[in-house]
Amino acid sequence: MAHVSDLISSDIEQYLQAHEHKSLLRFITCGSVDDGKSTLIGRLLFESKMLFEDQLAAMEADSKKWGTQGEDIDFALLVDGLAAEREQGITIDVAYRFFSTDKRKFIVADTPGHEQYTRNMVTGASTADAAILMVDARKGILTQTRRHSYLMSLLGIRQIVVAINKMDLVDYSEQRFNEIVEEYGQFAEQLGLSNITYIPMSAFKGDNIVEPSPRMTWYHGTTLMGFLETVEVDDTRMQRAPFRLPVQWVNRPNLDFRGFSGSITSGVIKPGDRIRVQPSGKESTVDRIVTYSGDLEQAVAGQSVTLTLADEIDISRGDVISIAEAPAETADQFESTLVWMHDDALLPGRPYLLKIGTQTVTASVTDIKYQVNVNTLEHTAAKQLELNGIGVCNLSLDRAIAFDDYQTNKDTGGFILIDRLSNTTVAAGMLHFALRRSQNIHMQHVDVNKEARALTKGQQPSVLWFTGLSGAGKSTIANLVEKKLHALGGHTYLLDGDNVRHGLNKDLGFTNADRVENIRRVAEVSKLMVDAGLIVLTAFISPFRAERRMARESLADGEFIEVFVDTPLNVAEERDVKGLYKKARRGELKNFTGIDSAYEQPEAAEIHLDTTRLSADEAADQVIAELRQRGVIAG
């Protein structure tokens, strides 16, 4: 590899030291299909002399087999590594490449242009300092150009190059360049994009990539490499922002040392500075800034350090250390923008894991305020978000967290949502602001608590959650169990699926989103009744494990008893007391569990009732025996 620096052969240590202290710019290339993104990156790697001789030889061979440039080298093949990409001549996955010049190091993400790969573009843009938006000079501004521009504004990318590519195919026309600049400028103004640099170029021919093009003497601006080597990186900008350090690890190697380790996301810190720990709000003073190489007099954004404090205060992983004069906010309810990245739709009310910085909490979307049509910027009503959907939503968390709005600080304002069962990342999000009710509504202390109410009733408050297919016998068995408990002097209440839908949930249908909300409401009512000291029986299909887990986790350990009324589909369909299966088979009932909507069986129910060998009365007796054994009722 022939690198631009002669120090490699003459003084490798000096070269490595100089290379270590270069700034690093992360940027993305985006735009519509066939605008030349991969070709541009291949050209940059070639011009920076970051290719080995065998890579060049392989590229020449691949160009003859897969290339789209005739006998010339197809630089896009350096980046498009998937076989499907080479066969179709497009980019599917996000490809990351590293290169460097004498002035700076770079990591570039080549993102897909197709609409169905929008989530891949969001992934590549999430850590970018700058973006190169490719525009084919022949086609001008396309729908995907607008889509990616909206995503760039959404993700807070502040430095943007509009690279008007393939100028060689329009005879290097200044008029065509000016037409595209005017058209894009009008659209960018709607999005609030301001720091835009327009560069006419040919990635294939190399015009205005590294050197000014002699074929476009009318253009007097920077080359692309000139822009990349001089544009401000986010770390530099973030050093001017208020100090934030999300605590990754409490460092306690011995009894005499206790420090708090993490990467500084913004600001500057020095020994003696006053800090505030959030969300607790406790304050102290920085005593030392400890690193492997020794103590520092000052640390800045981008550095990983360990802070020791003058006072012994409780700090855990996930807490945020802020400068006391300008601390982060704390809240448990937010407005946010979500980019949905999973094949299964987002359902409001379903619990997910939310990871922000070094903290992971439980969160649910309480309301989708609107979905954004990124092609027209129109706001439309939505009950759920499908794959690649973008919506403004309200979020509710199970505890308060420290945060900044995303436009101020990506690290303390950006988050991901994770499916609790599969551990799959399902969404990327950006916090806007805390909802006012999160600051104004607080839990009120009461003197008569759950324990006191249960003591007067002589029982252990619990929820018996009967689940199973329609026609399995849930309501019948739950009714018998309540009668037996009542005869024993128990204090109970039965929440039946049909009865609840006549009142509390009469506004809900049977879509997946409505089923989730149905169970969420029932779980909340059950929790209140348990707090009243009752034994609560619920008889609902409750087809999804995620919602049953949500109900379980809303209660204390041991208070949720899942009862699986196990009846095979063919047996339940034979019973069909209400005639629902016949209607579903005729297509008159949509989203009917077991027919065209899935039922997820419990994996470890506390009570398993096999109704193929138990009568309803025998099943009820088995439940009563289990309650005695668990101490819910007296033996």
- C-alpha–C-alpha distance, residues 304 and 261, integer Å: 7
User: Per the annotation, does 166 bind a ligand?
Assistant: yes
Residues in the chain: 635
- C-alpha–C-alpha distance, residues 180 and 35, integer Å: 14
User: Per the annotation, does 173 bind a ligand?
Assistant: no
Phi and psi for 110 in degrees, rounded to 5? -90, 115
210 exposed, middle or buried (CB, 10 Å; 0-12, 13-18, 19+)? middle
Distance of CA 91 to the CA centre of its chain: 23
Q: In this structure, are residues 163 and 196 in contact, taking their beta carbons and an 8 Å threshold?
A: no
The position carrying tokens 């760039």 is 152
**Closest listed residue to residue 432, CA positions, set 562, 549, 336:** 336
User: Per the annotation, does 299 bind a ligand?
Assistant: no
User: Per the annotation, does 610 bind a ligand?
Assistant: no
User: Per the annotation, does 411 bind a ligand?
Assistant: no
Q: Return the beta strands (E) in 435-491 as ranges.
A: 462-467
**Closest listed residue to residue 279, CA positions, set 359, 365, 199:** 359
CB neighbours of residue 500 within 10 Å: 19
From the candidates 100, 542, 554, 597, give the one annotated as an active-site residue. 542
User: Per the annotation, does 235 bind a ligand?
Assistant: no
User: Given phi > 0 = left and psi -120 to 50 = alpha, else beta, which region is 576?
Assistant: left
User: Per the annotation, does 37 bind a ligand?
Assistant: yes
User: Per the annotation, does 113 bind a ligand?
Assistant: yes
User: Per the annotation, does 70 bind a ligand?
Assistant: no
- C-alpha–C-alpha distance, residues 384 and 390, integer Å: 10
User: Per the annotation, does 509 bind a ligand?
Assistant: no
User: Per the annotation, does 168 bind a ligand?
Assistant: yes
**Pairing mode, strands 425-434 and 607-610:** unpaired
- C-alpha–C-alpha distance, residues 101 and 103, integer Å: 5
User: Per the annotation, does 220 bind a ligand?
Assistant: no
User: Per the annotation, does 471 bind a ligand?
Assistant: yes
User: Per the annotation, does 31 bind a ligand?
Assistant: yes
- C-alpha–C-alpha distance, residues 204 and 402, integer Å: 48
User: Per the annotation, does 54 bind a ligand?
Assistant: no
462 is known as an active-site residue: no
User: Per the annotation, does 110 bind a ligand?
Assistant: yes
Q: To which H or E segment does residue 363 belong? A: strand 359-373
User: Per the annotation, does 114 bind a ligand?
Assistant: yes
User: Per the annotation, does 126 bind a ligand?
Assistant: no
Binding-site residues = 31-38, 110-114, 165-168, 468-475
Give the active site residues.
542
Binding-site residues for ATP = 468-475
Binding-site residues for GTP = 31-38, 110-114, 165-168
